[in-house]
A = this chain, B = another copy of it.
Amino acid sequence: MAIGAGPEIERLMALLSKLPGLGPRSARRAALALLKRREQLLIPLTNAMQDAADKVESCRICGALSTQNPCATCADPGRDKTMICVVEEDSALWAMERVGAFSGRYHVLGGLLSALDGVRPEDLRIDGLVERVRSGHITEVIMALPATVEGQTTAHYVADRLRPLGNGVQITYLARGVPVGGDLDWLDDGTISHAFKQRR
């Protein structure tokens, strides 16, 4: 894809196309937008990325990406220390925080168990979670993992690791059913059948 604009621009496009949701064409558009809006976009974004590269790390308690360590959530004395919400990734944590329904703390596993992709328990932050439940006064662990095969396999594995601790910790799962505002016609059969069986 030689376009005669120099290797720096081609390299910029190649790297932008590695971002999720950007293909070669949208990466070219993004590169052009950056180069045309040098002062308003290219330089501020470069600085923001440099800042992130310098300051963001994983919280040593929960594993969340943050510029503080421990992260703001773990360090906040106002949050319930007895509840831990287990999520796959930071994106799920961010979604929970936007909703604002949970006032406890989090644990970011950093992925899901997958025989296919070769992700084993030791590749995830499971030992750290077991340690937190063993040593803290945790009463409830909420599994907010995806409702996929990998998500549920991981939830069961984690629950099996927590139960033998024998300190009466309750393990709960997010409810499953019809999404709020969801039309049955657009839902998959599995969700409808599950929602029907669990009707109340």
Contact = CB atoms under 8 A, between A and B. Distances in A.
Interface string A174-198: 0000000000000000000000000
Contact of A8 (B38, B45, B52, B98): B52
Q: How large is the interface on A (under 10, 10 to 19, 20 to 34, 35 or more residues)?
A: 35 or more
Contact of A48 (B4, B15, B64): B15
**Chain A interface secondary structure, helix, strand, loop or mixed?**
helix
A72 B3 CA distance: 10
Contact of A6 (B5, B22, B66): B66
A123 interface: no
B52 A9 contact: yes
Interface of A: 1-9, 11-12, 15-16, 18-22, 26, 28-36, 38, 41-46, 48-53, 55-56, 64-68, 71-73, 89-91, 93-94, 97-98
